[in-house]
Amino acid sequence: MTVVEPRGVHDHPPDVTLEQDLDDLRAALAGHPFPTRQDDLMAACLGRQAPVRLCSRLSTLSHRRVYASLAEVLDDVADRA
């Protein structure tokens, strides 16, 4: 029996993809004012034409939480990966 593995998003180990996404989020959100909420973070990424995968990462965050810093955002994204 032959097993066919899909190619694409899952080609890289999850931790490598997460680390790259955290770096990209750090760059995309540089200069973003804090405190802020999830919807403002997503709007900032969209406005800067960041890759949609970053919005996908941000979509896992609480839409009710107020984030005091970029470090809090990145920690929460990493915890939800």
Question: What is the pLDDT at residue 81?
Answer: 86
> Quick check: 68 pLDDT over 90?
yes
3 inside domain: no
Domain housing 31: 14-79
Question: What is the pLDDT at residue 16?
Answer: 67
pLDDT digits (tens, 9 = 90+) for 6-64: 555 445 555 669 999 999 999 999 999 999 999 999 999 999 999 999 999 999 999 99
35 inside domain: yes
Closest CA to 73 of 35, 46, 19, 20: 35
Domain count, the chain: 1
4 inside domain: no
65 inside domain: yes
Closest CA to 21 of 79, 80, 77, 66: 77
Q: Residue 24 CB: number of other CB atoms within 10 A?
A: 16
